[in-house]
Amino acid sequence: MVKHEHRVVKDLFLSKEEFLLVKDPSTNMLKTTPKPSEKSLVSYYASTDYLSHNNSRKTLFSKIYFLARAFAMWPKNLLISKYFDKPNSALDIGSGSGFFIIQLTKKKWAAKGYEPNKTARDFAIKKGVAHVVSLENAGSSQYGLITFWHSLEHTYLMQDTLEKSIKALKKNGIMMIACPNYKSWDAKHYGSFWAAYDVPRHLRHFAPDTLIKIMEPMGMKQINQWPLLLDAFYISMLSEKNLKSKLWILKGFILGLYSNIHGFVCKNYSSHIYVFKKTF
């Protein structure tokens, strides 16, 4: 299979190392190259500033992040209600500090998480979040809903993770996958400074048609696609910070708004939620 070089991107968050993004033409997916070993990858998350793995509200931006996370539950709940008229069973893969599971549990869902990062998992356990030990232990046809909220790009073995997740999903069950879109306006505007590349924590990067090409041969039918409007603001703010802009929060907000307007016109947003249904 022929692969084509895309661009060089630096880890601006932590290590300052450079990585190459390489395109797989069969799926339009970009792969972070070289891929760190699974053992060494843990060190790239070793920062208290990695907000999805902790609950620290020390800075203005962390307070904005957690406020936006809480607000984002409203559209997620609305989306879930389109496919479920009553509580069901759910597994959130890459569940981080457990916020989404806690919210589902409050709505009487039987919800569990799977989180490989020990620090985040321990934090969630203290909050009473139930976990599966491994995806091998997730069972067969156990869950009506399985979610990947910005976690599939992090999974070390994507194909294996998807196969085990699909096995754990009930027939006609729903899988929701949220991930950044490297073909969005803000990705093109910021280039190598686009915060959602986040190498090497993001091991892969998706175009709007990537997941259909990966999932449909696995028996999953895409039934809908939705924008994540808040992501454009968050990603643009972080990208402005990468550029060392003085008014990075304000500039990021303005350009995030423009990205959403552009996305509305072109149906091509900063991040998308892809909704799949199990057909077997």
**Residue 47 CB coordination number (10 Å):** 12
Residue 185 CA, chain-centre distance (Å), reads 18
CA–CA separation, 137 and 147 (whole Å): 17
Give pLDDT, residue 11: 97
Query: Which residues of the chain are under the pLDDT cut of 50?
Result: 1-3, 51, 53
Give pLDDT, residue 55: 58
Report the predicted TM-score, pTM, of the whole model to 2 decimal places.
0.92
Rg (CA), the chain: 18
Tokens 């699974």 found at: 38
* Burial group, residue 84, by CB count within 10 angstroms (0-12, 13-18, 19+): middle
Q: What is the residue type of 141?
A: S
Q: How far is CA 158 from CA 58, 155, 273, in A?
A: 34, 6, 17
47: which 2 tokens?
Answer: 């920062």
Give pLDDT, residue 58: 62
Give pLDDT, residue 1: 40
29-33, strands of its sheet edge to edge: 4-10, 18-24, 29-33, 204-205
Tokens 């904005």 found at: 64
Give pLDDT, residue 2: 45
Q: How far is CA 171 from CA 52, 120, 148, 211, 264, in A?
A: 31, 31, 18, 19, 33
Tokens 């070390």 found at: 156
Give the CATH H-level superfamily of domain 4-35+54-278: Vaccinia Virus protein VP39 (3.40.50.150)
> Tens of pLDDT along 19-76?
999 999 999 999 999 999 999 999 999 877 764 545 555 676 677 777 777 778 888 9
CA–CA separation, 159 and 23 (whole Å): 17
CA neighbor of 233 nearest in space, from 257, 198, 214:
257
Per DSSP, the residues of the chain read ---EEEEEEE-TTTT--EEEEEEETTTTEEEEESPPPHHHHGGGG--TT-GGG-----SHHHHHHHHHHHHHHHHHHHHHHTT-SS--EEEEET-TTSHHHHHHHHTT-EEEEE---HHHHHHHHHTT--B-S-GGGG-SS-EEEEEEES-TTT-SSHHHHHHHHHHHEEEEEEEEEEEEBTTSHHHHHHGGG-GGG-TTTS-EEB-TTHHHHHHGGGTEEEEEEEE-HHHHHHHHHHHHHHTT-TTHHHHHHHHHHHHHHHHHHHT--SEEEEEEEE--
Give pLDDT, residue 48: 73
CA neighbor of 77 nearest in space, from 145, 179, 128:
145
